[in-house]
Chain A
């Protein structure tokens, strides 16, 4: 392609960061030095460069984590290297919240102000930061000032960081040759200031919220906090890779039969039967097939996949290998959200170790089966957890959901049949191999088989990830977590995340099964159980839910793009007590907006953007006291 690039080159630092990711350029045609004898008369490299479009996001990440922002020069060089039109690459770069396209200091503290953190002390942290360092503004240093000093720092508010059990939380990013990325919980104003002012880089340790640690009967959590997550030997000594061996004995069709028999349902939120997905992909004559482990866990209140990846990364790798074997995939991707640095590190380490020891690569365990996994890092976009948005994000396009049909099992990543499963769904697979599908199906209830991870947070005594066999009620689970914080009473409980809904504290007998939740007109969603006590300002919480969807909407379709704005505006007017007409008028308007978003949006984001608000209004009656006025 004959690209028209802006006339700016990369700095040495930027060039090095990009070349470290992409390798050195082959010629003057793809950004290298022009050698007249070689490059003057023949154009080459176009197709080869364009075939690497999927490395656009990793290349942008490389500059971001090295320099702290992506300058025009760096941007031009990436476009030249990958033969991507700059306008398209601009569309991609500006899609992600963690990528900066205006000058930004190397040290940035992203402070969570999402629903859980804001009711657990984030406000005080944000106020302290604002007092000392001024209001958060991503462009504060962009106005004409291109030379940043090393002393510059910046803080930004962030959507949920998946640390709700230790709320409030923050993500520290320090760009450089050895970039630092730390997810920190239990944040205080002093700690936040110290981290921002470079007195404290925070340790790179996993603080896994596991009140059930080491309890007998745990399945998905049995190794977490007990077995060294960085050691393949330790993993193997605790039944690791037994599932894969069993899978090879069963054969490809046998594996799928067991998974079908197990009645395993997807744990990402949609509860689709995993076996049917696998079966459909395995039957597709079109090759190659791809496998994606969806680890873009960004649903506010959800942190179970982070715990699985940080605490038992080899299980994720093994489960993916089994899935790939059954469905005929040779290449898999783990798409992990960019806010999870330790999960990325652990999973990458597990992949490297597995590859070094023959558990990935050619002839795995001596079988005529080849499979490898690549980690792809998200860059701050909730929508990229939508299954078709993941495809676009990996391919190097904007993470906009695609139209369905065609479904991923027919036309997925790179247009090929693709299996995409959530981390927790996959983590069940080794158990199905070892126990057999029918035995797995006997655990739990008739329709919800196996066990499920729940993320308890908010006003509970022992927040954290809990594993329960399907069939327990919400009351049982809350009791396990020690109940509501002493001295407080529950006001309402968010089930299933921002895309889920609020229920009343008198509804604790809802069974935590897919069918039980459905019967109670609720949803398990991604397994969030967030308790709000009487001190929580629910009007403010709802406003944040609405702001979250407005921020995270990809902007493709009108109902979601504008509907999320109009929803937030109405909730804002209610919160500041300036309704247009009466409160009842505003609630009726919200209902109309919500119905259109649910009915006419392209993907699940828009379709569920009203559900939490609707339930808070209709089920919990949070505006009931004001409705009459």
Chain B
């Protein structure tokens, strides 16, 4: 008996025009990927190659001839004879406004690349007025859905609020959150299937939240840190990074990256150790790894304190932080800030 060998259906190619240049790409390609083949740069915030595109930030919009409105390049797939403009006046206007909207309502100080975009699109976020004072802790989490408080003629509304520090591993600074949905996707259906966080509320009051906005240790969070890995603005941040930034000792120019393999289990995830002053300050994993796609578990992400604890320093001496409810199996590393001069290595 002969066996049928399944052969994937050959992909047809689609020809389209981008900014006057003809390009042929396999069907099913997104406009964004088609642009990449031409070397055309399109800004993105909510897009990540390892997640399903949600196309909510709208910074990647492009103009498609005969379409009523602009389309998101990150999710729209190419069609034959499409005529795309990536830098038309309409496109530039919408990108400028989207970036202004974000810059005037969210703290983008730790968002990579954004300063260049703000400059190249001539953004003036200050024209909406001075930013409103931050809300008190928990205020935005409790905003009712429905009628909102009237606006203030002096200030531009923002999502400003205190940083949530409720565990020893990572912090949530939702004053920096652009609501890109990446953390929700990473925590939920795209990777972790933990569903500890979701978008709650509606409109400008929408926010990333646990149920009843409980603290993370009470939630379903398993501290895999995959949300931190996908966060584009630094709203989710290693506690070790956060503390150094607060203390003014975070310095990326002094950091080196070391590739290694996680020692904990047989999966063998690739780790990128970010090292500053001979301390591991952050751990990432490459997105293009065929197994992990940039994801880790709590051990690979946070369980490297033992590396710092070797040598002459007494066990457990470096963690000078106040209590908190550290989850089992992980400890914040490098946060003591007093290990820099220990001089081993």
> Is there a chain B Cβ closer than 8 Å to A576's Cβ?
yes
> Is there a chain B Cβ closer than 8 Å to A292's Cβ?
no
Partner of B127, one of A91, A99, A550, A589: A589
Shortest distance in angstroms between B80's beta carbon and chain A's nearest beta carbon? 15
Interface code B266-288, partner A: CB below 8 Å = 1, 0 otherwise?
A: 00000000000000000000000
Interface code B130-153, partner A: CB below 8 Å = 1, 0 otherwise?
A: 000000000000101111101111
> Is there a chain B Cβ closer than 8 Å to A600's Cβ?
yes
Report Cα–Cα, A572/B75, bound state, in Å.
36
Contacts of A578 in B (CB 8 A): 153-154
> Is there a chain A Cβ closer than 8 Å to B308's Cβ?
no
Shortest distance in angstroms between A300's beta carbon and chain B's nearest beta carbon? 14
Q: Which residues between 525 and 576 of chain A lie within 8 Å of chain B, taking CB atoms?
A: 547, 550-559, 561-566, 568-569, 572-573, 576
Shortest distance in angstroms between B71's beta carbon and chain A's nearest beta carbon? 9
Partner of A569, one of B90, B151, B198: B151
Shortest distance in angstroms between A235's beta carbon and chain B's nearest beta carbon? 37
The reply to whether A381 and B202 form a contact with Cβ atoms under 8 Å apart is yes
The reply to whether A91 and B97 form a contact with Cβ atoms under 8 Å apart is no
Q: Which residues between 457 and 506 of chain A lie within 8 Å of chain B, taking CB atoms?
A: none
Report Cα–Cα, A554/B200, bound state, in Å.
10
**Residue in A closest to B178 when the chains form the complex, CB atoms:** A558
With A87-B196, A90-B209, A550-B204 in contact, is A599–B94 under 8 Å at CB?
Answer: yes
Partner of B203, one of A90, A403, A550, A576: A550
Shortest distance in angstroms between A340's beta carbon and chain B's nearest beta carbon? 17
Q: Which of B16-24, B32-40, B51-59 contacts A (4 or more CB under 8 A)?
A: B51-59
> Is there a chain B Cβ closer than 8 Å to A602's Cβ?
yes
Report Cα–Cα, A600/B157, bound state, in Å.
21
Q: Which of A441-449, A590-598, A614-622 contacts B (4 or more CB under 8 A)?
A: A590-598
Contacts of B146 in A (CB 8 A): 97, 138, 156-159, 380, 551
Interface code A80-115, partner B: CB below 8 Å = 1, 0 otherwise?
A: 000001111111001111010110000000000100
The reply to whether A598 and B69 form a contact with Cβ atoms under 8 Å apart is yes
Q: Which of B213-221, B230-238, B240-248 contacts A (4 or more CB under 8 A)?
A: B213-221
Partner of B214, one of A6, A156, A551, A556: A6
> Is there a chain B Cβ closer than 8 Å to A72's Cβ?
yes
Report Cα–Cα, A566/B193, bound state, in Å.
36
Partner of A576, one of B142, B153, B201: B153
Q: Which of B98-106, B294-302, B316-324, B333-341 contacts A (4 or more CB under 8 A)?
A: B98-106
> Is there a chain A Cβ closer than 8 Å to B228's Cβ?
no
Report Cα–Cα, A1/B196, bound state, in Å.
12
Contacts of B97 in A (CB 8 A): 559, 563, 592-593, 595-596, 600
Report Cα–Cα, A563/B157, bound state, in Å.
11
The reply to whether B129 and A87 form a contact with Cβ atoms under 8 Å apart is no
Report Cα–Cα, A142/B94, bound state, in Å.
41
The reply to whether B203 and A85 form a contact with Cβ atoms under 8 Å apart is no
The reply to whether B195 and A403 form a contact with Cβ atoms under 8 Å apart is no
> Is there a chain B Cβ closer than 8 Å to A289's Cβ?
no
Report Cα–Cα, A94/B72, bound state, in Å.
28
Contacts of B129 in A (CB 8 A): 569, 580
Shortest distance in angstroms between A540's beta carbon and chain B's nearest beta carbon? 11
> Is there a chain A Cβ closer than 8 Å to B82's Cβ?
no
Report Cα–Cα, A553/B39, bound state, in Å.
36
**Residue in A closest to B148 when the chains form the complex, CB atoms:** A551
Contacts of A572 in B (CB 8 A): 150-153
The reply to whether B197 and A565 form a contact with Cβ atoms under 8 Å apart is no
The reply to whether A85 and B57 form a contact with Cβ atoms under 8 Å apart is no
Report Cα–Cα, A602/B46, bound state, in Å.
14
The reply to whether B127 and A601 form a contact with Cβ atoms under 8 Å apart is no
Q: Which residues between 302 and 342 of chain B lie within 8 Å of chain A, taking CB atoms?
A: none
**Residue in B closest to A4 when the chains form the complex, CB atoms:** B220
Q: What class of interface size applies to chain A in its complex with B?
A: 35 or more
> Is there a chain B Cβ closer than 8 Å to A277's Cβ?
no
Report Cα–Cα, A596/B57, bound state, in Å.
13
Contacts of B210 in A (CB 8 A): 86-87, 90
Contacts of A99 in B (CB 8 A): 145
Contacts of A568 in B (CB 8 A): 151
Partner of B195, one of A85, A554, A562: A85
> Is there a chain B Cβ closer than 8 Å to A513's Cβ?
no
With A572-B150, A580-B127, A602-B55 in contact, is A139–B204 under 8 Å at CB?
Answer: no
Shortest distance in angstroms between A388's beta carbon and chain B's nearest beta carbon? 13
Most chain B beta carbons < 10 A, residue from A158, A559, A573, A595: A559
The reply to whether A102 and B142 form a contact with Cβ atoms under 8 Å apart is yes
> Is there a chain A Cβ closer than 8 Å to B61's Cβ?
yes
With A558-B57, A572-B151 in contact, is A596–B195 under 8 Å at CB?
Answer: no
Contacts of B148 in A (CB 8 A): 547, 550-551
> Is there a chain B Cβ closer than 8 Å to A306's Cβ?
no
Shortest distance in angstroms between B176's beta carbon and chain A's nearest beta carbon? 15
Contacts of A75 in B (CB 8 A): 211-212
The reply to whether B105 and A565 form a contact with Cβ atoms under 8 Å apart is yes
24 interchain pairs (CB within 8 A)? A4-B219, A86-B220, A87-B197, A88-B188, A89-B211, A90-B198, A90-B200, A91-B198, A97-B146, A101-B212, A156-B146, A156-B147, A157-B147, A555-B179, A556-B54, A558-B57, A558-B98, A558-B101, A563-B101, A564-B204, A568-B151, A569-B157, A598-B69, A599-B70
Other contacts beyond A601-B69, A602-B56: 5, CB < 8 A: A559-B97, A562-B105, A564-B204, A596-B101, A599-B61
Interface on A for B, CB 8 Å cutoff? 1, 3-4, 6, 72, 75, 85-91, 94-97, 99, 101-102, 113, 136, 138-139, 142, 156-159, 380-381, 398, 403, 547, 550-559, 561-566, 568-569, 572-573, 576, 578, 580, 589, 592-593, 595-596, 598-602, 607
Interface on B for A, CB 8 Å cutoff? 54-59, 61, 69-70, 72, 75, 90, 93-94, 96-98, 101-102, 104-105, 127-129, 142, 144-148, 150-154, 156-157, 178-179, 181, 188, 193, 195-206, 209-212, 214, 218-220
